[in-house]
Amino acid sequence: MKTYFSKFTEQNVKNITHLDGACREIFMELILRIAEEGIYIRIPDTGGKRTGEEQQTLYNKTPKVTHVLCPYSWHCHGLAIDVVPLHRLGPLYFTALFHRDNLYERIARIAKSLNIRWGFEEWGMDKGHFHYSGGKTIYQLSKGKFPGKPTIQKHPYNKETDRAIERMKFRGIILENYFPYLYGNS
């Protein structure tokens, strides 16, 4: 299967760099494995770590974008991302596929293999939401009890993924201090 990186890949990686250090690498691994499954995705600008003010703004939107405020949002702790599956219309043009359940289910299977939880499976809504709990509850997080850093099983990437990783390293998008496992360090 062809690997699907899009014009949003670098921005997706930048959004992940703002996540909590305990889960940053596991979400990087998620987006790499999603691409290798032949799925284009985008992490919206508000789809990563959020401040309390950003969470409040999303909470106040109509229609509702979120149903919780900080500290009861995984996003406010830097442990969650939202993803939107995309369909490529041309070299630079994509459209969102919000209503393609099979794509969300495929992404959820990949996430589950990395011990990342799917919002839809937990709450029956929010198909694009994925968070790393490390066995902690949102209530434990709100009291400052954060999960430890997950172990990432070595995954053999295909040549196209290896090239994309090297290109992003060269361009300063993938930095060793944010993603040491991609440099052979843990």
Q: What is the reported pLDDT for 79? A: 97
- Regarding pTM above 0.85, the answer is yes
Q: Where are the beta strands (DSSP E) in 89-152?
A: 94-96, 117-118, 129-131
Return the SS3 of 120. Answer: helix
Domains of the chain, earliest start first: 9-149 (3.30.1380.10)
pLDDT tens digit sequence for 21-77: 989 999 999 999 999 999 999 999 999 999 999 999 999 998 888 899 999 999 999
Return the SS3 of 18. Answer: coil
pLDDT band at 92 (very low <50, low <70, confident <90, very high): confident
pLDDT tens digit sequence for 18-29: 999 989 999 999
What is the Cα–Cα distance from 98 to 77, expressed in whole angstroms?
25
Show the CA angle centred on residue 30, arms to residues 132 and 118, nearest 5°. 45
What is the Cα–Cα distance from 75 to 69, expressed in whole angstroms?
10
